[in-house]
Amino acid sequence: MKRITVVIFFLALVQTLSAQQQSLYSQYIFNLYAVNPAYAGSRDALSANLSYRAQWVGFEGSPKTQNFSIHSPLRKKNMAVGLQFQNDEIGARSATSFSATYAYTLNFGRARKLNLGLQGGMINYAMNWNELTYDERNDPTAWSIDPNRWIPNFDFGAMYLTPRAYIGFSAVNLSRPSLSELNQSDARLNTHLNLVGGKIFQVSQNLDLKPGFLVRHALGGPVQFDVSLSALLSNQFWFTATYRHNFGMVASAHVYITDKFHVGYAYDQTLNNMMTYESGSHEIFIGYDMPIYKTPELKPRFY
């Protein structure tokens, strides 16, 4: 593998120690469960979502992420459950995880509610050292990450929702699991804090606007944030423009083919020096909501 892949890998490893360890998504506004476990069950249906993301296309060893999630409320109870499976690859490192979620809802009337969610699971960190060209093979710290290591992981989330607005806070990697067994290395998953919110404004009968934001902060690392504006046309077509701090811009389109089945596509373009080495990022999203209880369906679905 070319030297540039080694550079990518160790840049990713540095971020693992300080900043972004969470997988990056551009269409999280259509699957808030991906960033906050408290969202589980909030669509009043059995909700299944599948996404694939190829980041920095053309950059050898660039990140690729696949995610499948399913969540649902429980019958006649203020509770919900969910499952999430994810595979994240960058260079010689891959991380495959699965997690289960339990959420509880406090109702305040007028369709206002506060959701609390707990999520726990396992992450398998796998390293293919043979794909790397690295001269310092005698450095115990550099090679201290187990080539195949299972680590536990726990997350917490809280989300306040109304028919036309939401705001949520989540803390990811609460246990800060270690990635190495050597005392010389303190490589571990840092705790990440997320703050997400959005609000719907009706402009006309066929047009709604939704400004939104997502703030990410890895403890001990920098703050990153997205600011977005979405337009819903005829209660069916979504168009979103997002500014991602220190990264670039995202444009996405999302369509409800039926009231239950929806698909989306997002394109990211960096606005820094990296844009000369890659041709953007692509993300595909598929979602399906299956009503399983005799509860009124939310039409349209704003989030």
| Mean pLDDT, rounded, for 219-232 | 92
DSSP state of 221: S
Q: Look at residue 135 in the predicted model and tell me its pLDDT.
A: 58
Q: What is the pLDDT of residues 6-45, one digit of tens each?
A: 444 444 434 433 444 677 889 998 999 999 999 999 998 9
Contacts of 290 (CB under 8 A, 6+ apart): 45, 46, 47, 48, 260
Homologous superfamily of the 3-290 domain (CATH): monomeric porin ompg (2.40.160.40)
| Mean pLDDT, rounded, for 175-185 | 62
Contacts of 206 (CB under 8 A, 6+ apart): 233, 234, 235
Residue 176 has pLDDT above 70, yes or no: yes
> What are the E-state strand segments in 3-78?
46-54, 64-73
CA atoms within 13 A on the CB side of 179: 26
Whole-model pTM: value is 0.84
Share of the chain above pLDDT 90, in %: 53
Contacts of 230 (CB under 8 A, 6+ apart): 29, 198, 209, 210, 211, 212, 238, 239, 240
Q: By the 8 A CB rule, do 68 and 53 touch?
A: no
Q: By the 8 A CB rule, do 165 and 198 touch?
A: yes
Q: Look at residue 241 in the predicted model and tell me its pLDDT.
A: 96
Q: Look at residue 185 in the predicted model and tell me its pLDDT.
A: 54
What Rg value do the Cα atoms of the chain yield, rounded? 20
Indicate the pairing of strand 46-54 with strand 281-290: antiparallel
Closest CA to 192 of 235, 229, 224: 224
Q: What is the pLDDT of residues 119-128, one digit of tens each?
A: 999 998 887 7
Q: Look at residue 20 in the predicted model and tell me its pLDDT.
A: 45
Determine the Cα–Cα distance for residues 65 and 36; give it in Å rounded to an integer.
18
Read off the pLDDT band of 138 (50, 70, 90). Answer: low
Least confident of 111-120, 126-135, 164-173: 126-135
